[in-house]
């Protein structure tokens, strides 16, 4: 049986969240680690837009990370991530839209000379304050169990935090910080952050699918 192919890049938060869902779903994939500044021609042939993650499954190409998450969890969702209130979808859209825009302008200020990094950090902080409020008194955004919104958002919160960790950890967001730190310390996060060589045609196949975490 031919495995789906997963084109990925270890540090990309979009690719991280795709790997989270694939790992939890227990789907064996052929992992192809891509160097974003020198993209393999096979990767660009599969997805000319040239961004990760990309899944190729029996000729079907899935090019958006959230679509990859849904694809994986539709096959197997042992932790019930898809059991999420409807408003969770709007929360993900807010993260992927305004929050990610502010994050990019905060983290990559030199690429956005029109933006003020302090202003962009404050825009992102507005969203983080909302998450902190949601997390008060509970382990996850919608209760005591993780759902799609937690795993679709947390990799971007991690990226935001790492821009200036001294500043981030000095903020009055104890519940958000607890949630993020628990994720970073989890077996799940460790399982999807293995280091792999950059893929080239003819390389030995690397199978991505550690055992489903407890």
- Sorted by where each begins, the domain ranges of the chain are 5-79+190-208, 87-186
Whether the Cβ atoms of residue 171 and residue 127 lie closer than 8 Å to each other = no
The pLDDT assigned to 109 comes to: 81
Instruction: List, for the chain, all residue ranges whose pLDDT scores fall below the cut of 50.
Output: 212-214
The pLDDT assigned to 31 comes to: 97
CATH number of 5-79+190-208: 3.40.30.10
Bridge pairing between strands 54-57 and 29-33:
unpaired
CA–CA separation, 162 and 22 (whole Å): 25
pTM: predicted TM-score of the whole model, two decimal places: 0.94
Whether the Cβ atoms of residue 115 and residue 109 lie closer than 8 Å to each other = yes
The pLDDT assigned to 213 comes to: 45
Nearest to 44 by CA among 31, 27, 61: 61
Q: 99: burial class by Cβ within 10 Å (0-12, 13-18, 19+)? A: buried
Instruction: Pick 87-186's CATH classification: 3.30.70.870, 1.10.10.10, 1.20.1050.10, 1.10.3720.10.
Output: 1.20.1050.10
Nearest to 127 by CA among 85, 84, 171, 86: 171
CA–CA separation, 89 and 131 (whole Å): 14
């Amino acid at each position: 049986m031919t495995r789906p192919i997963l084109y990925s890049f270890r540090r990309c938060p979009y690719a991280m969240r795709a790997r989270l869902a694939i790992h939890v779903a227990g789907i064996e994939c052929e992992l192809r680690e891509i160097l974003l500044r020198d993209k393999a021609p096979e990767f660009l042939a599969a997805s000319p837009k040239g961004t990760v993650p990309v899944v190729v499954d029996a000729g079907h190409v899935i090019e958006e990370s959230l679509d990859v998450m849904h694809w994986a969890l539709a096959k197997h969702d042992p932790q019930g991530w898809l059991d999420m209130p409807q408003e969770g979808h709007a929360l993900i859209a807010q993260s992927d839209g305004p929050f990610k825009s502010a994050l990019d302008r905060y983290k990559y200020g030199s690429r956005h000379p029109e933006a003020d990094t302090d202003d962009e950090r404050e825009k992102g902080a507005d969203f983080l304050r909302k998450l902190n409020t949601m997390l008060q008194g509970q382990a996850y955004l919608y209760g005591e169990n993780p759902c799609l919104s937690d795993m679709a958002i947390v990799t971007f919160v991690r990226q935001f935090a790492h821009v200036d960790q001294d500043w981030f950890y000095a903020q009055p967001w104890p519940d958000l910080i607890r949630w993020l730190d628990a994720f970073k310390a989890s077996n799940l996060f460790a399982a999807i952050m293995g280091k792999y060589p950059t893929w080239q045609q003819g390389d030995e196949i690397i199978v991505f699918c550690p055992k489903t975490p407890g």
